[in-house]
Amino acid sequence: MKSLSILQKISLRSLSAHWLRFLMTLLAVVLGTTFVAGGFILTASLSKAFNDITHGQYKGADLVFNATMDHPLTLDMAAEIAARPDVEKVEPTDILPIVLLDAAGDAYQSGGAGTWLLPFLPTEKTVTSTFEISEGRAPETSSEVVINSGAAARGDLRVGDRVTVIDAQRRTEMEIVGITEADMASGGWAGVQVAEDVFHSVYSDGVHTGRILVRGDVPLETLRAEYPGFDLQTADQAAEEESKEISEVLAFFTYLMLAFGLIALLVGTFIISNTFSMTVAQRTREFALLRALGMSRAQLTGSVLVEAALIGVVGSALGIVFGVGLVKLIVALMEHFGLGLPNAGVGLDAMSVAVPLVVGVIVTLISAWVPARRAGRVHPVQAMRSGDQSSTQPVTGRGIAGAVLLLAGLAATLLAAFWTDWSTNTRTVLLGAGAVLLILAVLLLLAAVARYLFTLRPPGNAVVPLLAGTNLSRNPRRTAATAFALTLGVALVTAVGILGASTKESVFGAIEEELRADAVISGGVVSNQSIPAQALDNIAGMDGVEGLVTVTWVPATVGGRAGSMDGTGGVTAVMEADPTLALNLEVVDGDFVGIADRPGVGLSRDTARDLGVGVGDEVEVGSSLTTATVRAPVRVIWEDTSSYTPLAVSRATAAELLPDTRAWFTQTAYVSFAGDGDHGPLFEEVADEVKSYGILQIMTPEEFRLSAAEQIDQLLMLIYALLALSVVIAVLGIINTLALSIMERTHEFGMLRAVGMQRRQVRRMITLESVHIALLGAFAGIVTGVWLGWCLVRTLASQGIDRWAIPWDQLAVVLVAAVLVGVLAALWPARRAARTSPLAAVD
């Protein structure tokens, strides 16, 4: 214990004496752990809010029936359960997605939380107490609604306002007659309620209901025995199940922010290791004196590790504090951009505190381990040495090891890119392993590159550039570690940029080539509302409209495969018309004649090959909503294309499997006009009809392509913003390295000033060193990123990303930014070096 106390005292005194030296090391830990903590805190906060909602909607209920496709619920069943003597009250309820327009025709923006239509029940008929009238009165007629106060405030709606309710079938003008209060944080969620009898007569078939809530002392097993096969749970079980599902979705935020936080910490490890390596070299005499006074090797190593642990603890603790601020900023930004998340306060749990703290300390200790061992190997005799303790470092062994890893990484990535017999998952894993090998190879090879590159004599008699290069080549490992922090960030930015550009080119670049339609109608990005059937019927009936092809999705699989993945396990397109009316599809076998009204499926060439079927063969069509399946023949096979789904089912087959069309979702509609003349007036007529439905938008094919590509750009901007954290840390690393190198080169700067070098020349020399480091890191990152991006695109070719594109403008910006980074990072160290007095040469 006494030995530990001595180590703590030495470590604390060292930190207090050299606090500036460790400040940026601390910042590296803080920035990395901020995102790690932020991910957990954001998830905990949202989970808390959604848990309040899920538990609130079952508050007062004991048992819950939920409708399934195989076991639908009916109003008669609810009345039958209510008649039991052990049941106190029963509440049948349902919910439908809608679009709500205000008097000006502007759609209510829920921010992804959804706008929903519900039946309004008086308090004496409800099991839960979720909604209560706080202003106005309850709805009575088919033209009256009430709305929750959160949505009313968000949409600037009041009692007496006229609104338009648009469901999957029609649009209806209504008046707000009341405001309800919800005993939960609802965020942007909008609950629009109509009278119970109106809901059942207009918005449902009057027979079925989606959920039955039961309050009473009836045993769960008793009801299960009477209603076998039905989805029946206790209210607590239902709430916990929904909370778990929500938590799984919200885990995406944790994983995303954790990934970027770990990337930031990985970049930070090189800064931390560099800092401790340089400080150990500068404190050689100090360590030697301690050894001469009797301190053992283990104690010296331990003192450095204690310093690292203290930095890790303080940095991680500050990261948690900043993580709370980051979450508040994210929520504020989401609210500003219309993403109405429920706000139930910041949620802090054990994981939010423990994980960032442990990760930050471990990363710092690992980074400091090698320098700490180097400190323990200092001999007492070195206390008699003076001057610069650094020496020229050998790089031959590192270069050979880097070359071996480079060859192994290139082989693995090439195999992943070209070995098409393996599955995409297998190839992606192999690519990841190859990427790790390549990154390690770059780290090792950068030292050799720095040694060779910076010993080259610049043209002419440029003394300052020569001195800058000589200083960098003298300690190539340090130069390489500093540059590599930037390399890693730039490589990730470049690879992501290539993937994004290739995705846009692959998915949307072919739209102009393959889209035959004259107009595209879309339901919007965050809308949960299908394009209303009434709108489609009105447009299809217009004079001059030759064809209308919808992109309608149902939760279904063909031969166990889905056309697109979603939260239900997969959705598949429905062929409600011949798609060749809108798209230039090349039919390989079969035809689309009468495809909507005949049982059948359509497949792309590769999908048909993978399933081992041809035209006329039967395949099984199933759904996650029902245990029932249907068998349907393959009617048509088309050539693979990025503009159309790899598989689809006919409307007849979809209706047989899922007769409840509420499970259908029409996302897009393509409209073709007759003739080759001027379609401007007809386009405007269709546009007028579309605009009357609020969230619907009509675009030309070119506008559709740009709009779709813009969504990818927005996602890329989010990723770039998060990756920018690693670049910021890399810049801190350059500043840190330069600042620490200036401390150990005071004698050198004094000599240069003594022989006539001016202050501006010293500043220029340090700036050139910084720019050289930044450019070395940026060039290495771009080359690595381009290679990995190309291999990634090749690996994902079977997923529809079959065109390769390089965002040259982005790469040019990266190089220019590298120069600016070098200049900015050198400002403070260069000024400090320039202030060195010539008298320092005789110190």
Residue 571 CA to residue 238 CA, distance in Å, equals 25
In this prediction, what percent of the chain has a pLDDT beyond 70?
85
Using the predicted structure, report yes or no on whether residue 529 has a pLDDT greater than 70.
no
Residue with structure tokens 């097993």?
221
Q: Please answer whether residues 261 and 35 qualify as being in contact, where contact means their C-beta atoms are separated by less than 8 angstroms.
A: yes
Pairing mode, strands 572-575 and 545-554: antiparallel
Instruction: Give the pLDDT confidence score for residue 253 in this predicted structure.
Output: 66
Close Cβ partners of 682 (under 8 Å, ≥ 6 residues apart): 542, 544, 545, 673
Neighbours of 450 (CB within 10 A): 26
Evaluate whether 805 touches 501 at the Cβ level (below 8 Å).
Answer: yes
Q: What is the CA radius of gyration of the chain?
A: 33
Q: What is the pLDDT of residues 697-754, one digit of tens each?
A: 888 877 777 776 676 776 777 677 767 767 777 777 777 777 767 766 777 777 777 7
Q: Which of 159-168, 341-350, 728-737, 815-824 has the lowest mean pLDDT?
A: 341-350
Can you read off the two tokens belonging to residue 448? 């050799």
CA distance 357 to 783: 35
Grade residue 410 by pLDDT with cuts at 50, 70 and 90. Answer: very high
pLDDT tens per residue, range 370-380: 888 877 787 77
Please name which of 830, 732, 774, 740 lies closest in space to residue 276, comparing C-alpha atoms.
740
Asked if residue 698 lies in contact with residue 520, where contact means CB atoms within 8 angstroms, the answer is yes
For residue 273, which of 28, 534, 521 has the smallest C-alpha distance?
28
Amino acid at 352: S
Spatial CA neighbour of 332 closest among 322, 341, 320, 321 = 341
Hey, which residues does 99 pair with through a beta bridge?
Answer: 166
Does residue 388 have a pLDDT over 50? no
34/261 Cα distance (integer angstroms): 7
β-pairing, 73-74 with 115-120? unpaired
What's the angle, vertex CA 190, arms to CA 185 and CA 193, rounded to 5? 115
Q: Which three-class secondary structure state does DSSP give residue 119?
A: strand
**Residue bearing the bigger pLDDT, 65 or 244:** 65
**Euclidean distance between CA atoms 385 and 391, whole angstroms:** 13
Helix (H/G/I), strand (E/B), else coil: 664: coil
C-alpha torsion sign, points 692, 693, 697, 698: negative
Work out the average pLDDT over 503-527. Answer: 72
Q: What's the N-to-C CA distance of the chain in angstroms?
A: 40
**pLDDT confidence of 346, banded at 50, 70, 90?**
low
Cα 187 to Cα 184: distance, rounded to the nearest angstrom: 9
Task: Please give the model's pTM, rounded to 2 decimal places.
Answer: 0.67
The DSSP H or E segment spanning 432 is helix 424-453
The residue assigned the tokens 């990395």 is 32
Mean pLDDT of 499-521: 77
Judge whether 642 and 506 are in contact, CB under 8 Å: yes
Mean pLDDT of 347-355: 77
pLDDT band at 175 (very low <50, low <70, confident <90, very high): very high
Contacts of 528 (CB under 8 A, 6+ apart): 97, 114, 115
- By CB atoms closer than 10 A (0-12, 13-18, 19+), residue 202 is middle
Burial track 825-838 (b if 16+ CB lie within 10 A, e otherwise):
bbeebbebbbebee
pLDDT at residue 617 tops 90? yes
Pick the range with the lowest mean pLDDT from 80-84, 201-205, 335-339, 622-626: 335-339
- DSSP string of 22-64? HHHHHHHHHHHHHHHHHHHHHHHHHHHHHHHHHHHTTTT-SEE
* DSSP code for 393: P
The pLDDT of residue 167 is: 82
* 708 burial level (CB within 10 Å; 0-12, 13-18, 19+): middle
Q: Which two tokens stand for residue 485?
A: 């922090």
Q: Give the model's pLDDT for residue 382.
A: 60
Residue type, 102: D
| Number of neighbouring beta carbons within 10 Å of residue 278 | 22
Which residues does residue 786 pair with via DSSP β-bridges, in sequence order? none
- Cα separation, 395 vs 800, whole angstroms: 44
Least confident piece of the model among 168-172, 174-178, 207-211, 287-291? 287-291
Q: What is the distance between the alpha carbons of residues 725 and 39, in angstroms, rounded to a whole number?
A: 14
What is the rounded average pLDDT of the residues 822-829? 81
pLDDT at 387: 46
Tokens, residue 517:
């339609």
Q: What is the pLDDT of residue 1?
A: 46
Q: Alpha-carbon distance 241 to 5, whole Å?
A: 51
Amino acid letter, residue 613: V
Task: Report DSSP state, residue 384.
Answer: G
How many Cβ atoms from other residues are within 10 Å of residue 75's Cβ? 17
Q: Which two tokens stand for residue 494?
A: 């470049």
Exposed, middle or buried by CB within 10 Å (0-12, 13-18, 19+), for 143? middle
469: CB partners within 8 A, 6+ apart: 453, 454, 455, 456, 458, 772
d(CA 206, CA 227): 21
Could you give the angle at which helices 808-834 and 759-795 cross, rounded to 10 degrees?
Answer: 150
Residue 510, burial from CB neighbour count under 10 angstroms (0-12, 13-18, 19+)? middle
User: Which stretch, 64-78, 391-405, 517-531, 566-580, has highest mean pLDDT?
Assistant: 64-78
> Could you tell me the CA-to-CA distances from 579 to 12, 167, 225, 336, 618 in Å, in that order?
73, 26, 48, 40, 22
On the question of pLDDT at 24 being above 70, the answer is: no
Region of poorest pLDDT, from 83-92, 477-486, 521-530, 735-744 = 521-530
Across 136-145, 260-269, 685-694, which has the greatest mean pLDDT? 136-145
User: Which of 564, 551, 558, 560 has the alpha carbon at shortest distance from 649?
Assistant: 558
Which H helix or E strand runs over 396? helix 396-418
What's the gap between Cα 79 and its chain centre? 46
Is the pLDDT score of 315 beyond 90? no
Q: Which residues pair with 174 in a beta bridge?
A: 163
Instruction: Kindly state the helix (H) or strand (E) to which residue 201 belongs, with its residue range.
Output: helix 196-202
CA 662 from chain center: how many Å?
A: 29
| Range 365-372 average pLDDT | 83
Average pLDDT of the chain to the nearest whole number: 80
Q: Where are the domains of the chain?
A: 1-48+240-389, 54-239, 462-514+702-843, 519-699
Residues 476-482 have a mean pLDDT of 80
Lowest-confidence pick of 26-40, 199-213, 356-370, 590-604: 26-40
Nearest alpha-carbon partner for 466 in 96, 79, 761, 98: 761
Q: How many CB atoms lie within 10 A of CB 767?
A: 21
For residue 621, what pLDDT band results from cuts at 50, 70 and 90?
very high
pLDDT surpasses 90 at 176 = yes
Kindly state the average pLDDT of the residues 47-66: 77
Q: Among 51, 768, 793, 171, which Cα is nearest to 470's?
A: 768
DSSP 130: -
Closest CA to 517 of 489, 547, 539, 537: 547
Q: Which pLDDT score, from 0 to 100, does residue 567 have?
A: 46
pLDDT of 50 higher than 80: no
Mean pLDDT is lowest, of 220-229, 637-646, 754-763, 833-842, for 833-842
- Beta-strand ranges (E) seen in 508-653 are 519-522, 545-554, 557-558, 572-575, 587-590, 601-604, 618-623, 626-638, 647-650
Asked if pLDDT for residue 171 goes beyond 70, the answer is yes
Angle between helices 350-376 and 235-282 (to 10 degrees): 20
Cβ(216)–Cβ(83) under 8 Å? no
> Which pLDDT score is estimated for 653?
93
> What CA–CA distance (Å, rounded) separates 795 from 641?
17
Average pLDDT over residues 332-358: 69
